[in-house]
């Protein structure tokens, strides 16, 4: 029996939600394991293991399709561009967490969803409605309030280089997500992701210090290996979610819960396993501005309005 299009779309949407949730959970753990690894290794060394693990893992999970070569050629140019950008994204994200901590890193990287929505203003015929404008204000005010709250309310304690690194990393991530979306819509998601990781791993290799791996503690090495597994899980699930019928707005809303999951886990670790991570100044009160920021992200993405394109244009609107 052939299922109707509506049944297929519903099933695809549900699959997208499941993989979006798995993405959110995987990303929530990543900054927690970055911090102990960054205490003993450089950002380049950590990035290289993550990227190499991501490349090999996705290759094994996806397998080699009969038409892999043709598909890889088609995905190569955007994946090459994304790989160059992703090299900076990984380095700046890890470096920002090394300067500050996993809590600040995870909340600020969540601004990538805002930047992703704003891309539509430049590449598509879109506009910001009143609720979106409110969302932009809420997101940036929430980030500012969270940054101050985690530094004891003093602007003098804020490490501006870390904030700039993390926000620039979020901006680069939004460009990657934009390219990944279109590759997935063309059923090239896995090839795009593997090539992107391979390019980024190759570039990062020249920045590594191999001797660091020999002198790192078991905790730092274990954290780095777990990061590689989380990278495979997070971006593999994200790519799969992108290829389903889940709207970009719904996908973003689900992944917006990831920073809050990270904060809850950090509060638990700080209370019961305080020796595992250096203190960051995180308190339950910090959840309020973080949630306010994520609410702003929700308004920006979920309330996005797309104007109809002229018949002559070949641009594809993001649903």
Is residue 8 included in any domain, yes or no? no
pLDDT digits (tens, 9 = 90+) for 99-153: 888 999 999 998 887 887 777 666 666 667 788 889 889 999 999 999 998 887 7
pTM of the model: 0.81
Is residue 42 included in any domain, yes or no? yes
**Angle at CA of residue 23, ends 72 and 15, nearest 5°:** 80
Is residue 249 included in any domain, yes or no? yes
Per-residue pLDDT at 297: 86
Is residue 10 included in any domain, yes or no? no
- For residues 239-274, b (16+ Cβ closer than 10 Å) or e, as one string? bbbbbbebbbbbbbbbbbbbbbebbebbbebbeeee
Alpha carbon distance 107, 169 (integer Å): 12
The number of helix segments (H) and strand segments (E) in the chain equals 13, 2
Reduced to 3 states (helix: H, G, I; strand: E, B; else coil), residue 306 is strand
What is the tally of structural domains in the chain? 1
Range of the domain at 252: 15-306
Is residue 4 included in any domain, yes or no? no
Is residue 318 included in any domain, yes or no? no
Per-residue pLDDT at 76: 86
Alpha carbon distance 103, 100 (integer Å): 8
Is residue 5 included in any domain, yes or no? no
Is residue 62 included in any domain, yes or no? yes
């Amino acid at each position: 029996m052939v299922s109707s299009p509506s049944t297929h779309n519903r099933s695809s949407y549900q699959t997208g939600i499941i993989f979006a949730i798995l993405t959110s959970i995987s990303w929530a753990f990543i900054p927690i394991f970055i911090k102990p690894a960054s205490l003993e290794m450089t950002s380049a060394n950590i990035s290289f293991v993550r990227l190499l693990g991501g490349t090999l893992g996705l290759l094994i999970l996806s397998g080699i399709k009969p038409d892999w070569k043709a598909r890889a050629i088609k995905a190569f140019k955007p994946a090459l561009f994304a790989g160059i950008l992703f090299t900076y994204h990984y380095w700046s994200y890890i470096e920002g967490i090394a300067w500050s901590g996993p809590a600040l890193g995870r909340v600020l990287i969540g601004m990538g969803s805002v930047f992703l929505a704003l891309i539509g203003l430049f590449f598509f015929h879109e506009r910001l409605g009143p609720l979106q404008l409110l969302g932009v204000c809420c997101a940036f005010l929430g980030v500012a309030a969270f940054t101050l709250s985690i530094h004891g309310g003093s602007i003098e304690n804020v490490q501006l280089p870390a904030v700039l690194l993390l926000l620039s990393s979020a901006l680069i991530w939004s460009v990657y997500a934009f390219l990944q979306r279109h590759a997935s819509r063309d059923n090239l998601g896995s090839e795009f992701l593997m090539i992107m990781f391979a390019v980024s791993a190759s570039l990062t290799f020249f920045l590594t210090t191999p001797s660091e791996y020999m002198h790192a503690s078991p905790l730092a090495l274990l954290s780095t290996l777990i990061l590689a597994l989380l990278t495979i899980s997070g971006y593999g699930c994200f790519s799969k979610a992108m290829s389903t019928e889940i709207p970009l707005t719904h996908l973003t809303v689900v992944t917006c819960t990831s920073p809050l999951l990270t904060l809850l886990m950090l509060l638990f670790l700080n209370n019961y396993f305080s020796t595992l991570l250096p203190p960051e100044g995180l308190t339950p009160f910090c959840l309020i501005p973080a949630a306010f920021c994520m609410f702003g992200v929700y308004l920006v993405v979920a309330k996005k309005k797309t104007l109809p394109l002229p018949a002559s244009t070949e641009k594809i609107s993001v649903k």
